A and B are shown apart, each in its own frame.
Chain A
């Protein structure tokens, strides 16, 4: 009896526990404990995960979550420099902590423990707030610290100019500019870093994400080049020289940099950064590489005249197009594809719809801006390209004595090509075209489908003029809409450009209650979607799709 009684008692107790548990947990609204989503803490840019020993085998404890800025703040307050932790090698700060080349894992571990924990203990002994002391291993080896959130901090045109223009970066001896203070390349013969004028590249072209043999990683190179210099300048009292992690890699830091950029630009004549001169042509004639042509007998596309100078203005750094190096596109992207170009052919490199470095890709991306999106969002991107479109860029070039054979153009030298390109570019009309005002109907009254509402009084000419105004100052729009009928095609689509385009009812049936073929809407939906989608894509919020009477008044019953 005793056994059963105690069992019953236990059961009763369990029941009460379970009821309380259920109530407490259930009171949360039935939320799953196991699946509760923890809101991620906003990561700090200065979080460095020290996992040096991972290269030597499986880690016993998680990597150390080290907040660099926290430490530099304290050190700077005590007027200590980076050398408190980083040795100087060859005049540059070593990124390693308190050591030169050491490969023994035990030694490395000991160094970290001795100096990190040692410093913490000292600071604590002095009565100041300090980091985790000895014994609290997982306070440092913290697996749950939030991820580092670092904004990529690179140079753009303006920031680069600020460095070029800066008096704090002196001109290298014998020169009038200070390019050599940062730009270098590796001379294989002398096995040294030298400066080569006219061959400056972006840092990222050699310094990749991971360190290569004898080539530092981008992170190491950039930090060594930039941070120490900035720190020295800051100590001298120069403003706006960030040296902490957050100073460049946090959102706030970037905002400050952008602000300073704007201030600098505002003070410049023409409100524009002066052109970065590296010997680039003002105009380029894009043709395939000479070697490629040996295999091809005939039948190349006409070359493309490319306004390099103008395009420099449209992008804020060279890498948007010159994504790997400053060479010409055709050097790596050959007609048939080459290993240096990642097997991407010249055609794909120029016409790829998705990638920014490609011509068409970039132009497509520009079509998404509100001024353009109204028409361009509902033009299918994947339709077959028309011949007329190709001819906008591929212009036949006449050579004296050689006719217009594109194959011959590749044999020309650069200055000749440039000259030809400049000629073509000069002859271009860079104004958006439209018909004479008298030819554009002013008010179009849409009387079809009168039912619940009165006719729509559509201010046609005003809309056309507004669209034209939207293209002002936009060379891309101006060039491609040079033909007067082109812009009308945004609404008067699926018919050849003409002064009198066919009325909508010629293709969009009035009867909308029938089963229809394909994607072509009947008249009611054609009208509605044409107007509403444009208003939505051009972000004209006042003309809401459900504000029916904004467009047509209601008929009084």
Chain B
């Protein structure tokens, strides 16, 4: 490659890299959620663990009936998680210091403002709707289950027993049902007999939650879970006991999930731009080095050959001269001999 061409490529690469916008492949540090998006506020001090929310969800989503009926509260003796047949579970937590009795927590998709599942999905099967719900599109899902790895709350579930149409199953905030007008509030919210769940705009729910914290400071822990966790969620929680005692992780931080990978993804175009230049450069340098080495070798060989040639010629010349001289000397000798012979010869022949 010519030097000119190489330098030109280097310049182009540099320009390309410089023009690149700051890399925010997925997360935006300032996103506070779609204004007017809806969410749910769950109040753990109100929940009585009756499981009617589970029944309501099961009914409106037409999920299969569970092995134990919803009225059976003995299932609360064990901790459960979501599965493909249940979008939400209620768990009971006993013997928490500071609590008069058992505390119940309802768990389901938290509909994050910047969902990890949506960031992780390589076919964009998840979308964060402006209404607040995080929905899953079954028409493109490949079933790779990276969303299940990504979700910090361990929510999405997979129909492992389905062969041709295994789906990712998770709470939808009843988005299709609400947008089509069949419901005005999600099934679980409508079923709760004590309004431990209320549905409304996220901004309003936060105000309501703050008012409760203000009015009854002795009743609640001064924290709205979901206000900032993982960048904020549309499902908010209030509790009278530490959230960790309710099996909710308090070590997730406030960084939204897409920010965790946006740095690595930002490096990709840089590699794609710089590596070819770098490698071509190395190749070119090597090639040039080899060419120079070859040239030098050829030169050295030529020089050596010339030298040998010259030496050989000198030797030959010397030998030739010597041979000539020898020959001359030999001729002289012979002539001399012949003359001597000739001089002696006629004497002998004259009588």
Which A residues fall within an 8 A CB radius of B?
377-378, 380-383, 512-516, 518-519, 521-522, 524-525, 528-529, 532, 536, 545-546, 548
B281 located at the interface, meaning its Cβ lies under 8 Å from any Cβ of chain A in the complex: no
B194 touches A532 (CB 8 A): yes
A515 touches B185 (CB 8 A): yes
With a cutoff of 8 Å between Cβ atoms, the chain B residues found around residue A513 in the complex are 183-185, 190
Known: A522-B195, A525-B195. Is A546-B190 also a contact (CB below 8 A)?
Answer: no
> B199: which of A515, A519, A528, A529 is its contact (CB, 8 Å)?
A515
Q: Which are the 7 A-B pairs with shortest beta-carbon distances?
A: A525-B195, A545-B48, A380-B215, A521-B195, A528-B194, A546-B50, A515-B200
Interface residues of B in 124-170 (CB under 8 A from A): none
Tell me, rounded to whole Å, the shortest Cβ–Cβ distance linking A6 to chain B: 40
B208 touches A512 (CB 8 A): no
With a cutoff of 8 Å between Cβ atoms, the chain B residues found around residue A518 in the complex are 208, 211
CA distance A521 to B100 in the complex (A): 24
Chain B residue, CB-CB nearest to A527: B193
CA distance A519 to B195 in the complex (A): 10
With a cutoff of 8 Å between Cβ atoms, the chain B residues found around residue A515 in the complex are 184-185, 199-200
Chain A residue, CB-CB nearest to B193: A528
CA distance A545 to B73 in the complex (A): 12
Chain A residue, CB-CB nearest to B73: A546
B46 located at the interface, meaning its Cβ lies under 8 Å from any Cβ of chain A in the complex: yes
A519 touches B211 (CB 8 A): yes
CA distance A515 to B132 in the complex (A): 15
CA distance A518 to B49 in the complex (A): 24
The secondary structure that dominates the B interface is loop
Tell me, rounded to whole Å, the shortest Cβ–Cβ distance linking A491 to chain B: 16
CA distance A378 to B216 in the complex (A): 8
With a cutoff of 8 Å between Cβ atoms, the chain B residues found around residue A381 in the complex are 215-216, 218
With a cutoff of 8 Å between Cβ atoms, the chain A residues found around residue B193 in the complex are 524-525, 528
With a cutoff of 8 Å between Cβ atoms, the chain A residues found around residue B48 in the complex are 532, 545-546
CA distance A415 to B212 in the complex (A): 48
With a cutoff of 8 Å between Cβ atoms, the chain A residues found around residue B338 in the complex are none
With a cutoff of 8 Å between Cβ atoms, the chain B residues found around residue A380 in the complex are 215-216
With a cutoff of 8 Å between Cβ atoms, the chain A residues found around residue B100 in the complex are 536
Which B residues fall within an 8 A CB radius of A?
46, 48-50, 73, 100-101, 183-185, 190, 192-195, 198-200, 208, 211-212, 214-219
With a cutoff of 8 Å between Cβ atoms, the chain B residues found around residue A378 in the complex are 216
Known: A380-B216, A513-B185, A536-B101. Is A529-B194 also a contact (CB below 8 A)?
Answer: yes
CA distance A519 to B50 in the complex (A): 22
Question: Could you give 28 example pairs across A and B, Cβ below 8 Å?
Answer: A377-B219, A380-B216, A381-B215, A381-B218, A382-B214, A382-B217, A512-B195, A513-B190, A514-B184, A514-B185, A519-B208, A519-B212, A519-B215, A521-B195, A522-B195, A524-B193, A525-B194, A528-B194, A529-B194, A529-B195, A532-B194, A545-B48, A545-B50, A545-B194, A546-B49, A546-B50, A546-B73, A548-B50
The secondary structure that dominates the A interface is loop
CA distance A381 to B214 in the complex (A): 10
B198 touches A516 (CB 8 A): yes
Tell me, rounded to whole Å, the shortest Cβ–Cβ distance linking B244 to chain A: 15
With a cutoff of 8 Å between Cβ atoms, the chain B residues found around residue A383 in the complex are 215
CA distance A111 to B108 in the complex (A): 69
With a cutoff of 8 Å between Cβ atoms, the chain A residues found around residue B198 in the complex are 516
CA distance A378 to B194 in the complex (A): 14
- A sample of 8 more A-B contacts (CB under 8 A), given A513-B190, A521-B195, is A378-B216, A382-B215, A512-B190, A513-B184, A514-B184, A525-B192, A529-B46, A536-B101
Chain A residue, CB-CB nearest to B192: A525
Tell me, rounded to whole Å, the shortest Cβ–Cβ distance linking B136 to chain A: 25
CA distance A545 to B183 in the complex (A): 27
With a cutoff of 8 Å between Cβ atoms, the chain B residues found around residue A546 in the complex are 48-50, 73
Tell me, rounded to whole Å, the shortest Cβ–Cβ distance linking B302 to chain A: 46
CA distance A528 to B46 in the complex (A): 10
CA distance A519 to B45 in the complex (A): 14
With a cutoff of 8 Å between Cβ atoms, the chain B residues found around residue A514 in the complex are 184-185
Chain B residue, CB-CB nearest to A530: B194
Tell me, rounded to whole Å, the shortest Cβ–Cβ distance linking B91 to chain A: 15
With a cutoff of 8 Å between Cβ atoms, the chain A residues found around residue B185 in the complex are 513-515
CA distance A522 to B208 in the complex (A): 15
With a cutoff of 8 Å between Cβ atoms, the chain B residues found around residue A548 in the complex are 50
With a cutoff of 8 Å between Cβ atoms, the chain B residues found around residue A519 in the complex are 208, 211-212, 215
CA distance A383 to B218 in the complex (A): 14
CA distance A327 to B95 in the complex (A): 45
Chain A residue, CB-CB nearest to B212: A519
With a cutoff of 8 Å between Cβ atoms, the chain B residues found around residue A382 in the complex are 214-215, 217
CA distance A348 to B49 in the complex (A): 41
Tell me, rounded to whole Å, the shortest Cβ–Cβ distance linking B185 to chain A: 5
Chain A residue, CB-CB nearest to B218: A381
With a cutoff of 8 Å between Cβ atoms, the chain B residues found around residue A522 in the complex are 195
CA distance A525 to B211 in the complex (A): 18
Chain A residue, CB-CB nearest to B46: A529
CA distance A546 to B215 in the complex (A): 27
Tell me, rounded to whole Å, the shortest Cβ–Cβ distance linking A529 to chain B: 5
CA distance A513 to B190 in the complex (A): 5
